[in-house]
Amino acid sequence: MTTLSASQSRALDRIRPDVRAMHAYKVQGSAGYLKMDAMENPFSLPAQLQVELGKRLAALEINRYPGERQNDLKAALAAYAGAPEGSAILLGNGSDEIISLLALACAQPFDGDRAKLLAPMPGFVMYPMSAQLQGLDFVNVSLDADFEIDVPAMLAAIAEHRPAITYIAYPNNPTATLWSEASVQSIVDAVGEQGGFVVMDEAYQPFASRSWLSRMQAEPGRNGHVLLMRTLSKFGLAGVRLGYLIGPQAIVNEIDKVRPPYNVSVLNCEAAIFALEHAGVFAAQALEIRTERARLIADLQQMAGVQKVWNSEANMVLIRVADAARTYEGMKALKVLIKNVSTMHPLLANCLRLTVGNAADNARMLAALQASL
């Protein structure tokens, strides 16, 4: 344990107690391991595109601050996503930064109480973390035992707490479930009646069978308070760190005021534009991942020792085993990293989350899992 000097101890006292009590987000070392714990795209950029991208990045004026090229990226993202008429786009350093910006923009008292942020759980850890760090109260509404959204409980919580922000992960992480349009629309309607935003988190959209954008396009008035958030991480650019938010211009322009002016670098911006110019390459990769996902689920359903396999609309599969900690450690000893989510929420008891990779990676992961059950 490090011994602190008196001045260091006094300085640390200025840091919020709740922050000091937190655990930092740690990315475990993966050198020498098959990394199947973070839902990354397993495919590298084709060699010729690597050369072309290298030339593009080398020609950038990295001595200058990011500038108008970001408008080109926003236009490319709007065209790629099919943004509704009258939309604007906010860029973030991944979705994580956008989640923080939304909480920051809405961190004001309402009806004499602290602002509320609501989400079904188990869900993405950044939702409650952003609430804590920005001074909002987090309202947790549990999913049911099969990870379906509890609509009556959500509606009751919305009526009681009147949250500033309601998150719907579409599909959800870590369960990979895509809830029904009717269920989600009833939640959207309830939030609209009491005032507040619904943030539709579509991080895993490349692997899902539908997007909420279709509802935003079909009924813009009914979904006028919906903000749609995506990331290029699952598109295939996890290392680029580029997230974006689509919503009505009047709303997005207000949220944009709390965004750091140079939060997306010229390198990130150009890499994202380049990738969108070659969207077909990444679409083919997503198709292969979806194909491998079906095979992986079928193999898992036949594996002795796997107690339950949930269907997936993302590039991950959630399973339940007899002893998640033992199975996780067994796979790690075999140099395969997966995610042990069993301690994240009571509903996730003895659950493991597996990334869907290419055929070879999935086969190695399955062999390690079988040996570790």
| DSSP letters for 77-140 | HHHHHTPPTTEEEEEESHHHHHHHHHHHHT-S-BTTB--EEEEEES--THHHHHHHHHT-EEEE
- Per-residue pLDDT, 33: 95
For residue 83 the two structure tokens come to 């943004």
Whether residue 170 contacts residue 200, with contact meaning beta carbons closer than 8 Å, is answered with: yes
Q: Phi first, then psi: what are they for 337, rounded to 5°?
A: -100, 125
User: b/e for 341-373, b at 16 or more Cβ within 10 A?
Assistant: bbebbeebebbbbbbbbeeebbebbbebbeebb
- Per-residue pLDDT, 1: 65
Within the chain, which residue ranges are assigned CATH 3.40.640.10? 64-277
Rounded CA-CA distance 313/209 in Å is 7
Whether residue 311 contacts residue 178, with contact meaning beta carbons closer than 8 Å, is answered with: no
Span 176-198, average pLDDT: 97
Q: What are the CA-CA distances from residue 301 to residues 18, 304, 316, 330 (Å)?
A: 42, 8, 15, 20
Rounded CA-CA distance 27/32 in Å is 15
**Which residue has 């309402």 as its token pair?**
110
Whether residue 272 contacts residue 242, with contact meaning beta carbons closer than 8 Å, is answered with: yes
Span 150-158, average pLDDT: 98
Whether residue 287 contacts residue 256, with contact meaning beta carbons closer than 8 Å, is answered with: no
Q: Is 347 left (phi over 0), alpha (psi -120 to 50) or beta?
A: alpha
**Which residue has 């009717």 as its token pair?**
182
Fold classified for 14-43+280-372: Aspartate Aminotransferase, domain 1 (3.90.1150)
Report residue 372's pLDDT band, with 50, 70 and 90 as the boundaries: very high
- Per-residue pLDDT, 11: 92
- Per-residue pLDDT, 198: 98
**Which residue has 């923009």 as its token pair?**
105
Nearest to 169 by CA among 216, 202, 129: 202
Average pLDDT, the chain: 96
Amino acid making up residue 370: Q
pLDDT in tens, 42-92: 999 999 999 999 999 999 999 999 999 999 999 999 999 999 999 999 999
Rounded CA-CA distance 372/328 in Å is 8
Within the chain, which residue ranges are assigned CATH 3.90.1150.10? 14-43+280-372
Whether residue 192 is predicted with pLDDT greater than 90 in this model: the reply is yes
For residue 274 the two structure tokens come to 């380049």
pLDDT in tens, 120-140: 999 999 999 999 999 999 999
- Per-residue pLDDT, 28: 76
- Positive or negative torsion for Cα 294, 298, 301, 306: negative
Is 55 strand, coil or helix? helix
- Per-residue pLDDT, 306: 98
Rounded CA-CA distance 134/286 in Å is 35
Whether residue 163 contacts residue 174, with contact meaning beta carbons closer than 8 Å, is answered with: no
pLDDT in tens, 241-276: 999 999 999 999 999 999 999 999 999 999 999 999
Task: Give 64-277's CATH code, choosing from 3.40.50.410, 3.40.640.10, 3.40.50.2300, 3.30.70.260.
Answer: 3.40.640.10
Nearest to 271 by CA among 73, 96, 42: 73
pLDDT > 90: percent of the chain:
92
Rounded CA-CA distance 158/195 in Å is 10
Whether residue 115 contacts residue 164, with contact meaning beta carbons closer than 8 Å, is answered with: yes
